[in-house]
C-alpha cells in the first residue's frame, strides 16, 4: 500500500511540509493588535491616503451611535411605493450579500452604503447594471449606523464616523473613540478604480491579495470575479478532494456561490492541498498564516471563519486527523479513505 501511494502521489506526499503534522501543535495566526495601535498618532497615520476627514460637531458621538440597534436606510423624504423602493432594487441584484445603511438617488444612479464581512461598500445601480465598490477604511475606523441624507455630492462620498482604539480582552474587545465627530470624504474615482476591469475594484483586490492589474490572479483561465477560488489555481487529488468534502457542507444556504460575487467563506491554512481545492458550491478565500496576519491587522471587519491545521496520519494509511479552530471552539476532523471515497466524522471535544 505504501509503495502504491509513493507512485500515485510522489510530489504531494513528500513536498507538502506545510500539510502534514510534524509532532508540534499549529495554531491560527493570533490577533495582533500591538500597544501602538491604541495611540491616536498611530491610528491617524494608518488612515488610508484616499480617505480624508474633518471634524463635524453636528454628528452624533461614537457611543451614541454604537448603542443604536438599527440602521437608518430610508430617508423620510425618499419614501416610495414598494415596487420602486431602493431596498427592493438592491435586494434584487445583491440578494443577501449586504446590510444597508443608507440609500440615495443621484442623477441616473441609485446608491447605497452597505456593509458585509469585509466592511463598508458603496453600491451603485445605473442603467440596470449593479456595481459594488469596497471603500477601504482601516480597522480603527468606525462608520455610523445613522447617516445624513445626501451622502454623495459632487462626486464625493461623505460618511460620518469616528476613529476608535481597540483593546483586546479575554472574551470581548473594548473600543473607545480616540477622535470623534468626524465626516470622512472619499472621491468616487478612487473607490471606483478597477485597473484590470474584472469587476472588483482595486481597493478590494488589494485587501484580499488579488492582483489589481490582472483579471486572473492565479492564472487558471477563470477571471477573479467568476473564480470560486480566486487566490489559488485548483488541482485534483485525493487530499484536495478531502478538503472539498470538509468545507462544502459548511457553505451558507443564504448565498449562491456563482451569483454572489461579494460573499466568501474565509479560511486560514498553510496547506497547499486546501489552498488548491476546486469548490463547486462555495466561493472561498484561503489565506496562509502570513496573509491572515496581515489581513487581520488592516481590515476593519471580522472576516475569519475556520482555521485548519496540519494533517496527522493515523495508525494506517487510510485514516487522517485534521485539527480545526473556530472563534469559540476547537476540534478535529477524522477522515477515512476507503474504496476511493472519504468518510468524515467531526470530533468537537478535541482541542487544539
pLDDT tens-digit profile of 220-233?
999 999 999 999 99
Q: What is the pLDDT of residue 253?
A: 58
Task: Using pLDDT thresholds of 50, 70 and 90, give the confidence band for residue 103.
Answer: very high
Q: What is the pTM of this model?
A: 0.87
- Residue 352 has a pLDDT of 41
C-alpha cell at 233: 489555481
| 132-156 mean pLDDT | 95
3-state SS class at 81: coil
Residue 39 has pLDDT above 90, yes or no: no
Q: What average pLDDT does the segment 19-29 reach?
A: 71
For residue 36, what pLDDT band results from cuts at 50, 70 and 90? very low
For 115, 137, 218, 285, 321, the CA distances from 246, given in Å and listed in that order, are 28, 33, 23, 15, 12
Q: What is the pLDDT of residue 120?
A: 96
* Spatial contact of 104 and 152, defined as CB atoms under 8 Å apart: yes
CA distance 221 to 233: 9
Whole-angstrom distance, CA of residue 214 vs CA of residue 304: 25
Question: What is the length of the chain?
Answer: 352
Measure the CA–CA gap between 241 and 250, rounded to whole angstroms.
15
The whole-chain average pLDDT of the chain stands at 85
What are the DSSP E strand ranges found in 228-293? 265-268, 284-287
- pLDDT band for position 86 (50/70/90)? confident
Amino acid at each position: 500500500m505504501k509503495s502504491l501511494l509513493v507512485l500515485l502521489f510522489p510530489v504531494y506526499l513528500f513536498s507538502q511540509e506545510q500539510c502534514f503534522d510534524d509532532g508540534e501543535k499549529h495554531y491560527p495566526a493570533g490577533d495582533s493588535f500591538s500597544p501602538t495601535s491604541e495611540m491616536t498618532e498611530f491610528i491617524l497615520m494608518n488612515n488610508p491616503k484616499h480617505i480624508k476627514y474633518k471634524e463635524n460637531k453636528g454628528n452624533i458621538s461614537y457611543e451614541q451611535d454604537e448603542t443604536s440597534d438599527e440602521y437608518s436606510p430610508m430617508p423620510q423624504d425618499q419614501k416610495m411605493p414598494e415596487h420602486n423602493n431602493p431596498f427592493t432594487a438592491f435586494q434584487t441584484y445583491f440578494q443577501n450579500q449586504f446590510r444597508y445603511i443608507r440609500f440615495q438617488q443621484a442623477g441616473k444612479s441609485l446608491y447605497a452604503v452597505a456593509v458585509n464581512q469585509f466592511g463598508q461598500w458603496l453600491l451603485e445601480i445605473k442603467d440596470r447594471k449593479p456595481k459594488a465598490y469596497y471603500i477601504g477604511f482601516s480597522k480603527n475606523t468606525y462608520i455610523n449606523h445613522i447617516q445624513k441624507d445626501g451622502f454623495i455630492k459632487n462626486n464625493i462620498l461623505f460618511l460620518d464616523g469616528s476613529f476608535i482604539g481597540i483593546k483586546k480582552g479575554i472574551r470581548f474587545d473594548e473600543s473607545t473613540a480616540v477622535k470623534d465627530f468626524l465626516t470622512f470624504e472619499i472621491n468616487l474615482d478612487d473607490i471606483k478604480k478597477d485597473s484590470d476591469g474584472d469587476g472588483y475594484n482595486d481597493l478590494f483586490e488589494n485587501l484580499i491579495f488579488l492582483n489589481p492589474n490582472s483579471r486572473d490572479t492565479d492564472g487558471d483561465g477563470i477571471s477573479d470575479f467568476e473564480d470560486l477560488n480566486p487566490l489559488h489555481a485548483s488541482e485534483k487529488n485525493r487530499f484536495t478532494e478531502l478538503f472539498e468534502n470538509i468545507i462544502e457542507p459548511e457553505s451558507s444556504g443564504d448565498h449562491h456561490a456563482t451569483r454572489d460575487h461579494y460573499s466568501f467563506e474565509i479560511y486560514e491554512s498553510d496547506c497547499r492541498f486546501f489552498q488548491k481545492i476546486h469548490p463547486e458550491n462555495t466561493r472561498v478565500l484561503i489565506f496562509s498564516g502570513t496573509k491572515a496576519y496581515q489581513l487581520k491587522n488592516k481590515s476593519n471587519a471580522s472576516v475569519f471563519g475556520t482555521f485548519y491545521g496540519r494533517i496527522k496520519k493515523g495508525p494506517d494509511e487510510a485514516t487522517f486527523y485534521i485539527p480545526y479552530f473556530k472563534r469559540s471552539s476547537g476540534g478535529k476532523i477524522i477522515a477515512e479513505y476507503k474504496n476511493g471515497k472519504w468518510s468524515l466524522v467531526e470530533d468537537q471535544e478535541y482541542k487544539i
